Homo-oligomer: A and B are copies of this chain.
């Protein structure tokens, strides 16, 4: 069984867990607190970031999109209609664009800040903790709407977010929005097409382990694990 260094509230780590789930493969999870900059972990990944996968032969694979490509090459390519990548290069570029959108742009505009200020700072202590920065929370909340609107637009105009089939784009978006949903930051009623799409994602067996995630000191929003939200 492969091992993933992760944190439950990092969208990029959830992306990898969902991918393994979609491919029906169990993994061992090790919760890493990247802000602690643990020596043994830095020797695996000098960037100090998560996720990090210990793959076959204990080869170290660093970063969500890099792990995604690795899993496509070593699993997805043999999964036929269950593959999370397209065959065609233009369709692949569209999937990758949306993976970047959710794991980089949504993360940088919204998710990372809300997670840090609301969930992680109380855990960080002398390693960057302290009182939440209310200006950072306000700025992130002002950005949430744009990302939900865009998701709603994609969900309303396509079968799945990147086109006719479930892909890494859906996995990345669901990973990202599920973190915001844990924090109760999404007004689903305003985004009916996105809600319908998210409801389909949330019902997938790959989602189960995410829905049972709990972070010390911060319970999930009341409907987080509810399939009828």
Seen from chain A, the residues whose Cβ lies within 8 Å of a Cβ on chain B are: 46-47, 49, 55, 57, 59, 61-63, 65-67, 69-70, 73-74, 89-90, 92-93, 96-97, 100-101, 104-105, 150
Is there contact, CB below 8 Å, between A47 and B101? yes
Main secondary structure of the interface of A (DSSP, over half): helix
Is there contact, CB below 8 Å, between B101 and A89? no
Cα–Cα distance between A82 and B61 once the two chains are bound (Å): 24
Q: Which of B46, B47, B55, B100 contacts A66 (CB 8 A)?
A: B100
A96 to chain B, nearest CB (A): 4
Q: List 27 A-B pairs, Cβ < 8 Å.
A: A46-B150, A47-B101, A49-B105, A55-B90, A55-B93, A57-B90, A59-B93, A61-B90, A61-B93, A61-B97, A62-B93, A62-B97, A62-B100, A63-B97, A63-B100, A65-B65, A65-B100, A66-B97, A66-B100, A67-B93, A69-B69, A69-B92, A69-B96, A70-B89, A70-B93, A73-B92, A74-B89
B residues in contact with A63, CB < 8 Å: 96-97, 100
Cα–Cα distance between A47 and B104 once the two chains are bound (Å): 11
Is there contact, CB below 8 Å, between B70 and A92? yes
Is there contact, CB below 8 Å, between B96 and A65? yes
Is there contact, CB below 8 Å, between B150 and A66? no
A98 to chain B, nearest CB (A): 9
B residues in contact with A105, CB < 8 Å: 47, 49
B residues in contact with A74, CB < 8 Å: 89
Cα–Cα distance between A105 and B155 once the two chains are bound (Å): 31
Please give 19 more A-B residue pairs, beta carbons under 8 A apart, in addition to A61-B90, A65-B96.
Answer: A46-B150, A49-B105, A55-B93, A59-B90, A59-B93, A62-B97, A62-B100, A63-B96, A63-B97, A63-B100, A65-B100, A66-B97, A67-B93, A69-B96, A70-B89, A70-B92, A70-B93, A74-B89, A104-B104
